[in-house]
Amino acid sequence: MKFNLIDGLNKGIRKFNYELTDEHEYKKLAELYKENKDGVYIVRMFYTNKKSMYGENEVVVTDDYIINLPKHLTETVEKIVNNEDYLKLINEGKFVFNIYEYEYKLGKEVKKAYSVNWGTI
């Protein structure tokens, strides 16, 4: 009998060819945006933080940073990590993002928030 793995159901299947190190620094999108509004960051890997104070949260890893992503990007990240073409681009160092700032109203107050645009290089 031949046994075929169902990739989407098995844990331990390595998708990213990148290793986190102790050198990686945790940063917020807001911090990175304020440091460099025109910054472009290479995506090295994603993971889900299951122990976040606010529930599960998607995380992106770059060459230097570990960055929590906004909740509204959860579905997008799931699509990215389940797409072979995107995974290939990530593992080749060609999948990138930049950060943008936007405003929204919370009651009478206007707040600033941050999100990302995905791209390739």
- pLDDT tens digit string along 36-71? 999 999 999 999 988 877 778 899 999 999 999 999
C-alpha 60/C-alpha 3 separation (Å) is 33
Q: Is residue 80 part of a domain?
A: yes
Q: Is residue 5 part of a domain?
A: no
What's the structural domain count of the chain? Answer: 1
Q: Is residue 11 part of a domain?
A: no
Mean pLDDT over 92-118 rounds to 96
Q: Is residue 38 part of a domain?
A: yes
Q: Is residue 4 part of a domain?
A: no
- For residue 67, give its domain range: 23-120
What whole-number percentage of the chain has pLDDT above 90?
A: 79
Question: Is beta strand 109-120 parallel, antiparallel or unpaired with respect to 45-49?
Answer: unpaired
What whole-number percentage of the chain has pLDDT above 70?
A: 89
Q: Is residue 67 part of a domain?
A: yes
Q: Is the pLDDT of residue 12 over 70?
A: no
Q: Is residue 59 part of a domain?
A: yes
Q: Is residue 8 part of a domain?
A: no
Instruction: Encode burial over 38-73: b for 16+ CB neighbours within 10 A, e otherwise.
Output: eeebbbbbbbeeeeeeeeebbbbbbeebbbbbeeeb
Q: What would the pLDDT profile of 80-90 be if each residue is shown by its tens digit?
A: 999 999 999 99
